[in-house]
Amino acid sequence: MKTLIIKKGNHYSTFYTFLKFFPWIAINKNELKITIEITPEMISVSTEKDCIKDSNKIFGLNKDLFSHHHKDSFRISYITHPKGTLNGIDYDCVQFVEYDYINSVRISNELTGYYKVGDIAVINHKLPYTIKIGRKLFPYHGGTCVAKHDIILKCKIEYL
């Protein structure tokens, strides 16, 4: 698995700097298998009201090289459920969300299940289109808030 780090106070991972120069991928595929190890750092506890439901992006693909990432793309992200918020169960967990943008319309599909620290999540996603030459979209923490501490992501991407 590849380890990516989003430093405290940032939105993007350190790997993102590299991807700005080499963001494309030629795959001619329409299905992905994403394996993610749930690390303690993924549990980002925030007391700021606007940050609680932020969706933290792990990976995504644009359908082509040049379109905006909100036009035709796929993303896998997670939402943190801090200690004590899941039906009164006393543990921290994350829930994954996968979604596609098709012609600038976001189509969401919330995944079932909750994953605790140490769990391995395997997510298969069939794209609604075939990506011949696409653009990678790598980790982005939050939407509203930056990382409150270093976030360590461990994931493996396979194209099927």
Tens digits of per-residue pLDDT, 24-48?
677 888 888 999 999 988 876 665 6
Write down the pTM of the prediction.
0.82
**CATH top-level class of 2-159:** mainly beta
**Strands annotated E in 84-119:** 93-102, 105-110, 115-116
| CA pair distance 23, 10, nearest whole angstrom | 20
Q: Give the pLDDT confidence score for residue 36 in this predicted structure.
A: 93
| CA pair distance 7, 115, nearest whole angstrom | 23
Q: Give the pLDDT confidence score for residue 110 in this predicted structure.
A: 67
Least confident among 4-8, 11-15, 116-120: 11-15
- In the chain, where the domains are located: 2-159
Tens digits of per-residue pLDDT, 93-112?
888 888 888 888 988 776 76
